[in-house]
Structure formats: C-alpha cells, structure tokens
Amino acid sequence: MIDAFVPKIVLTLNNDSRKGNMTDHLSIDEACDLVFSKRLRDLLQNIAVDNIQYFDLDIVDPKTNNIYTDYKIANVVGLVDCVDKNESDLKYFNSVKDAVVNAGITGCVFYKVEEYH
C-alpha cells in the first residue's frame, strides 16, 4: 500500500482545551482522532504494536505561544471486531496495558472487555 502525502496538521487549542495537561494520550476538543506523544509511540513500537499509522501534528497554544511538535495523530489500521466471544475460547493478554502503566504513560484509560461497548 502506498500512502498519499498528508501535510502536517496544525491544531490550535481553545480555552477549554488549555485547562488540561499535556498527557501522553491527548483527548482534546479540536481533534476527534487519537493523539499520541512520542513517548507513547516509542513504547508501542518497543512492544511490537505495528498496526498504527501516524500523521504529523503541531499543537499551538495561542495563550503561551508554545508549539508542541512531539505529538502525532494516530490511526489504528487492520482492526476488525469479528470474533464471536460467546462461541470462542479466548485468552486476554494485558501486555500493552502493563507496558503503558509500568512506563508511567499518562492520559490512557483501560476498560475490562465486559465494560467496553
């Protein structure tokens, strides 16, 4: 697959977004996508998570004039929920969760399978 060129995305924070902290996994009003820090991307790469595309992103805080360049938009590819969980013998692994928690990555929330919908 050949990816088309995607120009760098520039996102300017609004007053509500500036109330929070710059965590490793950002959830901000201006971006409906996943936004990951370099620290989180490096961790995912180190534990062999390889189904994520990243797109360049600059986050501008107009109040402080800071420009954060170590974040990228993340696009998870190849994920299809096609397992009949009632008819399957499944084992769940917490390796990604454990790695994220042990590395002190911020901004991530984990749900038990039965709690996610």
Inter-residue long-range contacts of 5-12, CB under 8 Å, 24+ positions, other chains counted? 6/55, 6/56, 7/56, 8/56, 8/57, 8/58, 9/55, 9/56, 9/57, 9/58, 9/73, 10/57, 10/58, 10/60, 11/57, 11/58, 11/59, 11/60, 12/60, 12/62
Domain of residue 93: give its range. Answer: 9-115
Residue 4 domain-assigned (yes or no): no
Average pLDDT over residues 29-34: 75
Residue 106 domain-assigned (yes or no): yes
**What domain count does the chain have?**
1
Residue 85 domain-assigned (yes or no): yes
Work out the pLDDT band at 6, boundaries 50, 70, 90.
confident
Q: pTM (2 decimals)?
A: 0.69
Instruction: Say if residue 23's pLDDT is above 60.
Output: yes
